[in-house]
């Protein structure tokens, strides 16, 4: 395999792992928010706001990881 092929392979694996990690993180976040809302329905708005902020941070980190993978793949 050439260096370019290995770079594309590594970028694909890195991008896949970052997407899987983000999906698991947001899934756990949503499950915890639903559980908290079920226990304390009056605090639903605050819980939802906090959940959206945390999900945005997770998605931001995932986007950063994807950009790094793309940049490393196209560097050669």
Of the two residues 26 and 3, the one the predictor is more confident about is: 26
The top-level CATH class assigned to 1-71 is mainly alpha
What are the pLDDT digits (tens) for 11-66?
A: 899 999 999 999 999 999 999 999 999 999 999 999 999 999 999 999 999 999 99
| Alpha-helical regions (H) of the chain | 3-39, 44-73
User: For residue 4, what are the CA distances in angstroms to 7, 11, 62, 66, 70?
Assistant: 5, 11, 23, 18, 12
Q: Is the pTM value of this prediction over 0.85?
A: no
């Amino acid at each position: 395999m050439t260096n370019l092929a290995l770079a594309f392979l590594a970028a694909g694996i890195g991008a896949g792992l970052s997407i899987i990690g983000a999906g698991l993180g947001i899934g756990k976040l949503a499950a915890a928010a639903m559980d908290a809302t079920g226990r304390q329905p009056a605090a639903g708005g605050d819980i939802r706001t906090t959940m959206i902020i945390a999900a945005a941070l997770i998605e931001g980190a995932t986007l950063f990881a994807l950009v790094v993978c793309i940049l490393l793949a196209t560097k050669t």
